[in-house]
Amino acid sequence: MNLFNVYPLYDIEPVRAQGSYLWDKTGTQYLDLYGGHAVISVGHCHPYYVEKVTQQLNQIGFYSNSVRIPIQDELARKLGELSGCEDYALFLCNSGAEANENALKVASFFNGRKKVIAFKKSFHGRTAGAVAVTDNPAIVAPINFNEHVSFLPFNDVAALEAAMNEEVCAIIVEGIQGVGGINVASDEFLQAARRLCDQTGACLILDGVQCGYGRSGRFFSHEFSGIQPDLITTAKGMGNGFPIGGVLIAPRFHARHGMLGTTFGGNHLACAAAVAVLDIMKAENLMENAARMGAYLTENLTQIGLRGCGGIKELRGRGLMIGIELDQPVDKVRDTLLFEHHIFCGYAGKNTLRLLPSLAIGRAEAARFLEAFSAVMSVHA
């Protein structure tokens, strides 16, 4: 049997990883400034993480949500503490798309409505509901197309005000758009979304799948705007590579048995991985590190841009979610960084280099990237 060929591949086969580094089968070392789409939060193969997951696997790896699984409560308690969302309740699932799917369901069950407002350049996942609120017709199959969804311009308060009414079930928005190009939602925009939801009885869903879990320098990037969403979704960095997602659900939503459900969500092993991530984030002050290293990278990238050898059009993002918009297509720069300097970076759209390193990245690694980037841009600018 062959694999269903949906992924364009780099001809690189990583066989080992540690911290911010990967090694391929020929022994070549790569610096990882991408974490496989923002997934590696505390660093590859962190010893505490490996120990916790191994211990759990040796005890019990899985049983279904029909029995008591106390490590789920430990995860919810620690997540509440570190995120400051103690009064929210947690529903556990397996991915970012599933988290958004369930958040949309909770909203619709709650107010009985079905219209959703999403935004241009949004990405919320590939399952039926999540892809219907994703602004990319190429990945929306006819069966997923949903006439209840409107896509408004991002960060446009007037357009949002004009579109909101008592028929709207939910607004779904990324605190920082990731796939769409690292676009930060403005404070004014998120505050307007909160106010309009309150006025019309709609629910505010903040998709923190990529920008959450400490990446922005705060636990959730919407904290900068001082708003409290009704539903917050997470995944990616939550398990540092072990598949897990979650919906944080505000106290005004009441659970009933059977309302949501999943076979794998919240299993012992996934929870052990997620608890280990939170323990490490707390013990190693990784949110502070994300803010500090994000500032270091951004300041130095600004300098590179100012020196005029950069070809940098705009820098966007917060903390360790950085978009470098170039004045040219990004593919040559990305490939030179990867194949000549052995540095993994991502991209968003045609012209934007996307950096999503581990929250534990050190100054030496950041400096290595800056030096390589500067060299590459002086050739390609």
Sequence-distant (6+) residues with CB within 8 A of 107 are: 169, 170, 202, 203, 205, 230, 231
Q: Tell me how far, at minimum, the Cβ of 134 lies from ligand PLP, in Å.
A: 8
Q: Which of residues 234-273 bind ligand PLP (CB under 6 A)?
A: 235
Q: Is 170 in the site for ligand PLP (CB under 6 A)?
A: no
| 170 contacts 117 by C-beta, under 8 angstroms | yes
Q: Is 352 in the site for ligand PLP (CB under 6 A)?
A: no
Site string for ligand PLP, 19-48 (x = CB under 6 A): ------------------x-----------
Binder of ligand PLP out of 210, 298, 351, 358 (CB under 6 A): 210
| 334 contacts 373 by C-beta, under 8 angstroms | no
| 201 contacts 111 by C-beta, under 8 angstroms | yes
- The partner residues of 152 in beta bridges, in order of sequence, read 119
- Residue 14 has phi, psi (to 5 degrees) of -70, 140
Q: Is 180 in the site for ligand PLP (CB under 6 A)?
A: no
Q: Which of residues 45-84 bind ligand PLP (CB under 6 A)?
A: none
Given the rule CB under 6 A, which of 61-69, 94-102, 136-144, 336-344 is the region that contacts ligand PLP?
94-102
Per-residue tokens: 48: 């505490």
Q: Is 124 in the site for ligand PLP (CB under 6 A)?
A: yes
Query: What is the maximum alpha-carbon separation in the chain?
Result: 61
| 251 contacts 264 by C-beta, under 8 angstroms | no
Site string for ligand PLP, 97-116 (x = CB under 6 A): x--x----------------
Q: Is 132 in the site for ligand PLP (CB under 6 A)?
A: no
Per-residue tokens: 247: 């919906």
Q: How many CB atoms lie within 10 A of CB 351?
A: 19
Binder of ligand PLP out of 209, 227, 304, 315 (CB under 6 A): 209
Contact positions toward ligand PLP, by CB under 6 A? 37, 95-97, 100, 123-125, 174, 178-179, 207, 209-210, 235
